[in-house]
Amino acid sequence: MNTLAGKHLVLGLSGGIACFKAAELCRALIKAGASVQVVMTDAAEHFMTAVTMQALSGRAVYTSQWDAREANNMAHINLSREADAIVVAPASADFLAKLLHGRADDLLSLMCLARPIDKVPLIVAPAMNREMWANPATQRNVAQLKADCVYVLDVGQGDQACGETGDGRMLEAQEILEDLQAFFAPKLLAGKTVLVTAGPTYEAIDPVRGITNLSSGKMGFAIARAARQAGADVTVIAGPVSLATPRGVRRIDVRSAQDMFCAVQTQVTQAQIFIATAAVADWRPHTQADQKIKKDAAGHTPQLAFIENPDILAGVAQSDRAQNGALFCVGFAAESHDLLAHATAKRLRKQVPLLVGNIGPSTFGQDDNALLLVDALGATELPRASKQDLADELIAEIARRL
C-alpha cells in the first residue's frame, strides 16, 4: 500500500540550513508517487535556490503572494485548495511562532492560515539550534500548535551546523517520508498493541563460532513498519540483524533463542497481536566452550551435542490469553520444499489461527518474497512482491480477521 501515490502535497521551505534536506525529501515524495508544489519564503532562498526545487519537483516554485501567474492573484487560496496536505520542512522557530499567532506576511504563512483546516492537514518538521528548540517559548509554541491540530513531527538529535550537538535537527528525508506514509495510512490497527519477532538467532559454540541461519530480518521489520503505520503500538524483538529500526517502533535486541524467548515472555503480556516472524534456531549446543575450540593435530572432529530450544510460538499460542481470544497469534514457516503441507501441519501443531509460509532459500536476504497464508479454511497465495507491500497486505489480513 503506497499511501502517498496520487497525493498532491505543498512542500513549504522556511529559512534554515536544513533546506538542503528538502531537496532530498522532494525527490523521495515524487518517487513515492506524490506530486509536489514547492513554496519558499525569502529566508529559504538564502539556503536553497528555487531553480533546484523546480528541477526536482517538475513544477514552477512559488515565492511571493503577489505572483502574477495566478489569474485571480490568490496563490494562497488556489494552492491550498489543491493540496491533500501542506508539509513545511524545514519549519524554523520563527515560522512556528508565525503559525501560532496566525501571522501571514508571506505566501507560505498566508497559505497555512487560509487552508481549509478540516480538509487540508498541516504537517511541520521543526529545524533549529538546540537552545532555540529547548527554549520555553518554542516549547509553548509547539504545544499550542499541537492543540490546534497541527501535526508536529519529532526533531532529530546530533551534530548541528553551528558546531553544537543536541536536539533540534530536522529529521532526515527518509524519516519524514515514513512519517508521511504513516499519516495517510488507514488506521486498521488503531489502539492495538503488536509484538513482532524478526531475524535469526545465534547459538554460540565457542567465543568465535556459532550456529545461525540466513534470515535478514527484513520481513519482520517490514511487518513492524506496516503495523505502526496502521496505528498500532509496536515492539519488535530482533535477533542479530543490520537493519535500521522503523520509525515509531520500539526495538529490543537479542542474540540467542533463549534470549528471544525471555524477551517475548516479558513483552507479550501487553500485546493483543503476536507475529512470530523470526527464524528461531530449533536447537543449540549443549555446552558452550569458554575458549575457541582448536583443531586437533590428529584430525579428530569435535563432537557437538545439541538440546532443543523452547518453542516460542507454540508457547504463546497455547497460553490462556491466546486460547480465549485476547491475543491473536500469527506464525511464520520458512521451508525448503512442500510448503503447503509443512505450513498446514505447523499451524495445527502450534495451534495458531494464521500461519504464513514462505520458501526460505528464495527469500532470505532478499527485498521481495512470496507468501502462503494458511488458516482453518485453506490457503491463500500472495504473489511475489516487495516485502513491504506484502507486510501491508498481511497487516490488512490480520485486521480483517480481528
Active site residues: 162
Report the C-alpha dihedral over residues 302, 307, 309, 310, rounded to 10 degrees. Answer: -170
Please return the burial class of 253, using the count of CB atoms within 10 Å of its CB with bins 0-12, 13-18 and 19+.
Answer: middle
Judge contact between 363 and 402, C-beta under 8 A: no
**What gap in Å lies between CA 30 and CA 7, rounded to an integer?**
10
**What gap in Å lies between CA 117 and CA 355, rounded to an integer?**
44
Spatial CB neighbours of 184, under 8 Å, sequence gap ≥ 6: 3, 4, 7, 84, 85
Please return the burial class of 371, using the count of CB atoms within 10 Å of its CB with bins 0-12, 13-18 and 19+.
Answer: buried
Strand-strand pairing, 8-13 and 209-211: unpaired
Please return the burial class of 389, using the count of CB atoms within 10 Å of its CB with bins 0-12, 13-18 and 19+.
Answer: middle
- 209 — phi, psi (to 5°)? -130, 155
**What gap in Å lies between CA 218 and CA 398, rounded to an integer?**
19
Judge contact between 233 and 272, C-beta under 8 A: no
Write out the H or E segment, with its range, that includes residue 285.
strand 283-285
Q: Could you say which DSSP state residue 360 is in?
A: G
**What gap in Å lies between CA 247 and CA 153, rounded to an integer?**
11
